[in-house]
Chain A
Amino acid sequence: MADQYACYIAFAPDSGVPTPALLARLSSLERDLVMHLPTEQQRRQSTLARLAGKSAIERPLGRRASRSSRVEILKAANGEPVALVDGNAGVASVSLAHSSRLAVACAWTNLPRNGYGAGVDLERVRHSEVASSPYAFSRRERRLISAASQGTSWIGLAAWTAKEATWKAMRPEVECGPETIEICELDLRQGRAALRPRGKLVARFHQATFRARLNVIPGPDGMYLLTIAEVVSRSRG
């Protein structure tokens, strides 16, 4: 899968390792962040997402797993993950996602690709009414989803991951929500989604290239929908 992208992807499935053993693989700052989360499930998922993030960051840096303590994933004031490599921010960037018992991360080094941003989102396949949600999707998007042949529950989840991964890729420069990005093409069989910014973001991302790839992957407790979105914008540099 990594060859299709300009970022590096890593997964961390929940294989039942006790939470304290997972937490022991984080730095003390990371543990502090995780332990402030209100539920055990959030603490576990956040830990797994950070472990996936460390693996994803180590790949472009050529680091071995045994040195993973040198990579830390902290949190910016706006909630975005911040990667520190040997204590330095700005070397690499990372996007994290988790759902149920699977976490995923994509990472990229910053220096060679100024203007590049990636985002990842993941949802375990389950019954969902999101396809018909007027909050999640515009009328035009709902028409597109209902016309798809893959079943509204699956395609609705896929569409949601496409939107969320894309707005993660557009951050941290902009505040994004469901109405700030529009899906104009969606094909789960081909694994392809086309998205474009809306409203105030149109001018800002005028020269940007948006790309989103949808994947259906197996996880520890069923199938998952995964989207990796990439945005290359001249204005970001």
Chain B
Amino acid sequence: MNREVIFEAIKSNMHMIIPGADGHEILETNSMRDFGADSLEMVEVVSRSMKQLKIKVPRAKLLPVKNLKELVDVFEESAPKQQVA
């Protein structure tokens, strides 16, 4: 799974869940707080993205995450590696 797929899933869930993100461009340097997300909305974006991408991330790894780039990094580390033929 590559970073683009992960970031697209996160962005799509942000647009759906965070009212302040709707219609705005989202960059990896942004944090969810930049769009007015509260703690519950952030949890819902992370949870829904994990479910959609079928990945499991240890909860302790998510605590220090400060922006979307770091979130994508953590998701990428936890994603199943692509099978190479």
Interface residues of A (CB under 8 A from B): 38-39, 41-42, 98-99, 123, 128-130, 132-136, 157, 160, 164, 175, 177-179
Contacts and interface: CB of A to CB of B under 8 A. Distances in A.
A157 B40 contact: yes
B77 interface: no
B44 interface: yes
B50 A130 contact: no
Interface of A is mostly: mixed
A175 B62 CA distance: 13
A130 B38 CA distance: 13
Interface in B47-76: 47-48, 50, 56-57, 59-60, 62-63
B80 interface: no
Contacts of B60: 177, 179
A160 B39 CA distance: 9
A178 B34 contact: no
Contact of B35 (A38, A130, A132, A136): A38
Contacts, number: 59
B1 interface: no
Contacts of A41: 19-20, 36
A130 B40 contact: yes
A39 B33 CA distance: 9
Given A39-B20, A39-B35, A179 B43 contact: no
B33 A128 contact: no
B46 interface: yes
A38 B40 CA distance: 18
B40 A123 contact: yes
Contacts of A178: 43, 59
